């Protein structure tokens, strides 16, 4: 089992991100570059990360008409990142167009995943604001996951609470990438559906996206290792496998 921790580089510019990453010299963890940092710095920062052997989840959540997404994904495919994403709500044609765009760029190794529902979304928001009624949040997320799988995608972004349900519906190899991870006792911030690293291991999360708990820690490397250890212990207890 590979290292499941993806550190969210939620910084406003490259200088701050580089300063943070300097503490991880020699480790090169998997990192997530989101909208704020990418829009501020663009492809040059992605190139800097790749030159230092970081694996990259480029989290831009594309959601547009199929032609636009196809063209955009061809560009992103040329950045040689390890994972990119789109919104599942864009529908089958858009999801397939995204995959085709990556393949057209020769980015066969880049994993394409779909956002199901944001971890800030609650049942009330789903029903009253998004007007998706007569279905539970869990079933809605599972439906989007199946849509993504049927469209040729590699996995989804979801909360830990939905990971096991998605695995049952889409298969063990279908990736579940889970934000909203907080070590025991940490601040929940603006996410409604959260879990601890131990719960993520128990419920079938393949990757945990963790930002402020690590990036705002006084000892980020120690916090990173503690989270990894908590996940590892739970994973081994539940799966009786050795973490590698």
Known catalytic residues?
Answer: 61
Residue 112 phi, psi (nearest 5): -115, 120
How far is the C-alpha of 180 from the C-alpha of 70, rounded, in Å?
Answer: 29
DSSP string, 76-124: HHTTT-SEEEEEGGG-HHHHHHHHHHHHHTT-TTSEEEEE-S-TT--HH
Residue 157's DSSP bridge partners are: 115, 177
Contact yes or no for 111/142 (Cβ under 8 A): no
Q: Which of 227, 116, 135 is nearest to 174 (CA)?
A: 116
**Residues 6 or more apart whose Cβ sits within 8 Å of residue 124:** none
């Amino acid at each position: 089992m590979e290292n499941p921790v993806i550190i969210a580089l939620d910084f406003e510019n490259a200088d701050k991100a580089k300063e943070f990453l300097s503490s991880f010299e020699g480790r090169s963890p998997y990192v997530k570059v989101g909208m704020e940092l990418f829009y501020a710095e663009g492809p040059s920062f992605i190139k800097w990360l790749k030159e230092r052997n970081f694996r990259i989840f480029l989290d831009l959540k594309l959601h547009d008409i199929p032609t636009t997404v196809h063209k955009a994904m061809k560009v992103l495919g040329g950045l040689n990142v390890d994972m990119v994403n789109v919104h599942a709500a864009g529908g089958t044609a858009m999801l397939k167009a995204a995959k085709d765009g990556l393949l057209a760029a020769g980015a066969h190794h880049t994993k394409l995943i779909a956002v199901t529902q944001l971890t800030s979304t609650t049942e009330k928001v789903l029903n009253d604001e998004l007007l998706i009624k007569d279905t539970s949040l869990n079933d809605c997320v599972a439906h989007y996951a199946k849509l993504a799988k049927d469209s040729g995608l590699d996995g989804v972004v979801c909360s830990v609470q939905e990971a096991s349900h998605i695995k049952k519906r889409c298969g063990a190899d279908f990736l579940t990438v889970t934000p909203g991870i907080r070590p025991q006792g940490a601040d929940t911030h603006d996410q409604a559906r959260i879990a601890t690293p131990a719960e993520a291991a128990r419920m079938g999360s393949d990757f945990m996206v963790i930002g402020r708990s690590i990036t705002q820690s006084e000892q980020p490397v120690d916090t990173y290792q503690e989270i990894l250890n908590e996940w590892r212990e739970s994973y081994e207890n539940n799966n009786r496998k050795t973490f590698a």
